[in-house]
Each structure stands twice: as structure tokens, then as C-alpha cells.
């Protein structure tokens, strides 16, 4: 018995722990490995655990419906394709107290462009693509910036650098009423947010970081809360929510209504004249 | 004897876990996805020697260790919602109508960041789910349900996303009778048509 007590913590430490109880893959497909993301020390441990759980669910999403894969420019919605897509973009996570002002490395001459205005990070902010924001700022100012993340100095030479700042809002604002932060349905919504922000890693020229467009009308009129790309961040997030929603045989009617409201909101943000844009990420070669 | 069984059991668990890890890491072998290509489009004129994209730390990386805490799963088991009498259903729809998300009210609360949907958008989800369940169970409630869904889809002060969900459900529950769609705004119809079918 003493040996068991000695070994059990070790097993838990190794991560053999608890299976995903509710999320059930319908495809019968083998799980892909988990997306390898690096956490900066500024991310609290409870937030890490939740992100970790989200990525575990993604690794075994098991989507059956393969339609709309073109939005992500992937061949299919297999666990492997989803993992590869996110892993290419979603590399580093920093916490809300992390200073994203960046260190000036040197002057650079970038081509002129129109950038997205990115506001200050407040406690209710859910997540932002800090790497993309710093890249756009550097491009506008003609400065090469770097950020120190978890002991690594990252030179921001592309929006694809993949540095994301997460706040408490990711775990409190995105919360289906009557559920807990670690309930699977909230993982679905957080994963959709991850994919949304990861799309801000992409694009080139005026479309670098896939900036949002000012909404000409509707609920968000005048806000940079719409997309001019049919494969922009909002459609990308929407397709992820919808895949989980369509397979959620264990969701209550209220939870399905919640996901449908989210899907409707995201669909309403795609401008009627939106077009498909190249998702190749620009990179400077200083 | 008991002790031996316990030890054997633990060894078995460790062996299973080792097998899992082998499969896990084998499965992580990856190739570059088609959409991941990056290209250089900017040529800087400054020729000062740049550092590589990632400069490894001189000391041991201070990157946090992998998360070891596992989240305990306790998602609630879906509970069937209550069966409503006609007056109770009327009360439900009244409550739902009052809870529909309205941008004017949301802005009054000082909410300014709409990069993601305001949480108020989904506060009515419980009621919408209960209404759907009720109509499914008791066809006598359908006319009252249609009335609520029509009022919701037409309410100009309600967020378009909620109006679209209502319109989709209205179309579902009026499938056998004519529905004049011309009274609904194009944007609401477009969003409604893009939604998954009514559950
Ligand atoms: Zn965005």
C-alpha cells in the first residue's frame, strides 16, 4: 500500500491522469499529439491547466464532417491536420501582466501599410495576438522589435512568430452560464478563440495579420469587429465552434442555443463583399 | 500475496502508460501543412547584422515545465428541462423576450470592446433551449412559440445574432404553414440560413 502511495503521485505527475469525460470523438480516429505550446512564467498555473485541457480535447476532436476545410486551408478536419495548423501558429503564451512593449533592436525600412489599431490590454480582455500586434507596430514605425518570452528572445520578423497574450477573460468572459471553466463546452469556445487569434498570424501586405475591418452597419457599426476575408479570424473561429457544436450529442438544448448564438454572431461579422485571401504569412529578412 | 498483487497492478499501469507515451510521441511526427508556407516580401535597407529569429537563452531555459495538474472533469450531465403548462410557457417566453440581448443596453453598461461577442449575447440561451424543448414535447404550445420567435426575429433593438437564431427556429416550427419572409431584414435572413439546423 505504501508503494502505491509512492507511485500514484508519480503517475499523476507523468500525466496519465484523467481522461476527457464528456468529449467523445465520433470519428474513431486516433488522437493526434497535443499542440506543443510554450508557456511564459507570467501565465498562472490554473490557466495553463485549462489551456492544456483544451489542447487535449483538440488532439482527439474526431470531427466527422470535413466540409469547409478551405477556410483553414487544410486538406481535412482530421486531428492531425488541426494539430498541424494550430501548432504552426500558436507557439507561445504569455500572461496578462506580461509587458508586450518589446525591446527595440534596430531600425528597419518596411513597406508602408495600413495597420489594425490594437487597444490596451485590460483585465476583461480575452486574448490577443501579441506577436502580430508588435510586428504591425514595428512595421509601421520601421523598427525591429524583440520580446523575451520564457527565457527566449524572439525577434518579431513575422506575424507568424506566434506569441499570444491571455487574460482572465478567456476563462471568465467566455463561460457558458451554469457551467464551470473546465467544462468541455467552454473548451470548445476557448479553442475557437485560439484558432481566431492564430489566424492573426497570417497574411501579407495590407492583409498582414488579417486585420479586422470596420463594420459598416449592424450591431458593431464603426467597430473593427468585422472581416473582409471569408477565411479571416471570425470565419476560422466560427468553423471550429460549429464542428464541435454539430458533434455535441451530450450538449443540452440550452448549450446548443448558446453555441448557435455564437455561430450567428461570428457569421454576422463577415462582410457581404468578403473574399478569400491568401494566408501565407509575410516575413522580413533583416 | 495482497502486496504482490498491488505491485503487479502498479507495474501494469506503468507499462500501459509507457505504451501510451510511445504512441503519443510517434503520432507527433509531423510534416509542414500546406497552409504554413511563409514568404519574404520586405527587404530592409539596414544591413546591420540581425539576430536569428529565436535566440536561445544562455542559461537553462526558464520556460515553465509542462503542466502537471490535470483538470478534473465534471461537466454536468444534460438534464431534461421541465414540462410547462400554457401559462408557464407564456411566462417563459416573456422572460426570454426580456432577456434577449440589446446593444443599447450592453453599451450602457460601458462595454466597449466587441472583438469577441459580449457575454450578454448568450444570457438568453437557457430560455431558448427550454422553449425548443417545450415545443418538441407539447405541440399545443407551438402557436405561442411561433409568436415569440416572430417577435424576437422582428425586434429591431435585439442583436442580429439572436434575431437570426429566432428566425431559424421560426422557420423550423412553421415548416407546414406559410411564412412571409419579406418582413425580415436580409442580414437576419442571411445569418439564419447560415446556421446549423434547429436542434
Ligand atoms: Zn481578431
pLDDT in tens, A129-156: 999 999 999 988 899 999 999 889 999 9
Report yes or no: B104 at the A interface, CB cutoff 8 Å. Answer: no
CB contacts of B132 in chain A (<8 Å) are 253, 257
CA angle A37, A131, B50 (to 5 degrees): 105
Report yes or no: B130 at the A interface, CB cutoff 8 Å. Answer: yes
Calpha distance B158→A264 (Å, rounded):
13
The phi-psi region of residue B179 (left if phi > 0; otherwise alpha if psi is between -120 and 50; otherwise beta) is beta
Calpha distance A280→B39 (Å, rounded):
7
pLDDT in tens, A167-198: 999 998 888 988 999 999 999 999 999 999 99
What is the pLDDT, as a whole number, of residue A28? 80
Calpha distance B4→B2 (Å, rounded):
5
Q: What does the domain layout of chain A look like in residue ranges?
A: 28-275
Q: Which B positions 40-99 lie with beta carbon below 8 A of chain A?
A: 40-46, 48, 50-57, 59, 61-64, 66-76, 78-79, 81
Calpha distance B179→A201 (Å, rounded):
44
Closest Cα in chain A, distance from residue B177 (Å):
24
Mean pLDDT of chain B, nearest integer:
72
Paired residues of A152 in beta bridges: A149
Closest-approach residue (CA) in chain B for A220: B114
Contact call for residues A55 and A73 (beta carbons, < 8 A) = no
What is the pLDDT, as a whole number, of residue A100? 85
Q: Residue B100 to residues A136, B162, B199: CA-CA distances in angstroms?
A: 38, 7, 19
What is the pLDDT, as a whole number, of residue A38? 95
What is the pLDDT, as a whole number, of residue A125? 73
Torsion of CA A170, B160, B108, A194, to 10 degrees: 10
More confident residue, B16 or A283: A283
Closest Cα in chain B, distance from residue A229 (Å):
16
Here the cell at position B30 is: 509531423
What is the helix (H) or strand (E) element at residue A188, kind and residue range? helix A184-199
Calpha distance A197→A217 (Å, rounded):
24
Low-confidence ranges of chain B (pLDDT < 50): 1-2, 12, 15-54, 56-78
Residue A120: is its pLDDT beyond 70?
Answer: no
Q: Model-level pTM? A: 0.79
**Strand A281-284 to strand B38-42: parallel, antiparallel, or no bridges (unpaired)?**
parallel
More confident residue, B153 or A125: B153
For A24-61, give one letter per residue: b (16+ CB within 10 A) or e. Answer: ebebebebbbbbebbbbebbbeebbbbbbbbbbbbbbb
Report yes or no: B180 at the A interface, CB cutoff 8 Å. Answer: no
| Local structure of residue B133 (DSSP, 8 states) | H
* Helices B125-137/A253-267 angle, 10° precision: 120
Collect residues with CB below 5 Å from ion ligand 1.
A 233
Longest pairwise C-alpha distance within chain B: 80
Report yes or no: B156 at the A interface, CB cutoff 8 Å. Answer: no
Mean pLDDT of chain A, nearest integer:
87
| Mutation site, B75, B113, B136, B167, interface A, largest A CB count within 10 A | B75
Closest partner residue to B35 (CB to CB) among A18, A72, A174 is A72
Residue A7: is its pLDDT beyond 90?
Answer: no
- ipTM for the whole complex: 0.87
More confident residue, B63 or A28: A28
Here the cell at position A151 is: 527565457
Amino acid at each position: 500500500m505504501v508503494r502505491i502511495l509512492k507511485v500514484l503521485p508519480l503517475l499523476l505527475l507523468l500525466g496519465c491522469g484523467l481522461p476527457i469525460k464528456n468529449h467523445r470523438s465520433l470519428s474513431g480516429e486516433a488522437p493526434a499529439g497535443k499542440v506543443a505550446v510554450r508557456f511564459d512564467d507570467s501565465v498562472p498555473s490554473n490557466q495553463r491547466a485549462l489551456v492544456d485541457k483544451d489542447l487535449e480535447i483538440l488532439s482527439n476532436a474526431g470531427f466527422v464532417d470535413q466540409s469547409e476545410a478551405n477556410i483553414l486551408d487544410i486538406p481535412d478536419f482530421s486531428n492531425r491536420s488541426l494539430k498541424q495548423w494550430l501548432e504552426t501558429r500558436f507557439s507561445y503564451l504569455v500572461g496578462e501582466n506580461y509587458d508586450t512593449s518589446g525591446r527595440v533592436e534596430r531600425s528597419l525600412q518596411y513597406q508602408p501599410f495600413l495597420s489594425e489599431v490594437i487597444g490596451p490590454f485590460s483585465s476583461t480582455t480575452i486574448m490577443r495576438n501579441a506577436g502580430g500586434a508588435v510586428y504591425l507596430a514595428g512595421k509601421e514605425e520601421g523598427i525591429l522589435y524583440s520580446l523575451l518570452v520564457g527565457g527566449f528572445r524572439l525577434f518579431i520578423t513575422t506575424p507568424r512568430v506566434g506569441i499570444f497574450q491571455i487574460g482572465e477573460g478567456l476563462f471568465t468572459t467566455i463561460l457558458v452560464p451554469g457551467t464551470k471553466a473546465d467544462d468541455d463546452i467552454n473548451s470548445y469556445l476557448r479553442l475557437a478563440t485560439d484558432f481566431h487569434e492564430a489566424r492573426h498570424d497570417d497574411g501579407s501586405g495590407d492583409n498582414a495579420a488579417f486585420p479586422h475591418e470596420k463594420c459598416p452597419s449592424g450591431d458593431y457599426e464603426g467597430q473593427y469587429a468585422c472581416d473582409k476575408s471569408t477565411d479571416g479570424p471570425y470565419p476560422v473561429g466560427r468553423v471550429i465552434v460549429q464542428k464541435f457544436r454539430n458533434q455535441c450529442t451530450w450538449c443540452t438544448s440550452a448549450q446548443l442555443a448558446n453555441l448557435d448564438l455564437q455561430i450567428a454572431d461570428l457569421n454576422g461579422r463577415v462582410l457581404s463583399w468578403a473574399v478569400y485571401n491568401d494566408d501565407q504569412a509575410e516575413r522580413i529578412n533583416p | 500475496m495482497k502486496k504482490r498483487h498491488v505491485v503487479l497492478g502498479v507495474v501494469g499501469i506503468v507499462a500501459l502508460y509507457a505504451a501510451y507515451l510511445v504512441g503519443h510521441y510517434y503520432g507527433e511526427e509531423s510534416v509542414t501543412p500546406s497552409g504554413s508556407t511563409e514568404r519574404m516580401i520586405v527587404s530592409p535597407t539596414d544591413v546591420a547584422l540581425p539576430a536569428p529569429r529565436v535566440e536561445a537563452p544562455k542559461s537553462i531555459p526558464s520556460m515553465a515545465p509542462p503542466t502537471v495538474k490535470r483538470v478534473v472533469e465534471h461537466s454536468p450531465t444534460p438534464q431534461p428541462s421541465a414540462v410547462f403548462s400554457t401559462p408557464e410557457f407564456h411566462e417563459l417566453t416573456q422572460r426570454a423576450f426580456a432577456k434577449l440581448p440589446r446593444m443599447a443596453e450592453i453599451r450602457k453598461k460601458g462595454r466597449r470592446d466587441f472583438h469577441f461577442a459580449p457575454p450578454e449575447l448568450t444570457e438568453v440561451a437557457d430560455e431558448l433551449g427550454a422553449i425548443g424543448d417545450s415545443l418538441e414535447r407539447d405541440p399545443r404550445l407551438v402557436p405561442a412559440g411561433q409568436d415569440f420567435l416572430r417577435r424576437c426575429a422582428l425586434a429591431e433593438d435585439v442583436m442580429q445574432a439572436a434575431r437570426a437564431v429566432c428566425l431559424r427556429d421560426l422557420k423550423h416550427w412553421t415548416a407546414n404553414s406559410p411564412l412571409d419572409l419579406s418582413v425580415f431584414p436580409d442580414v437576419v435572413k442571411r445569418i439564419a440560413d447560415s446556421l446549423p439546423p434547429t436542434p
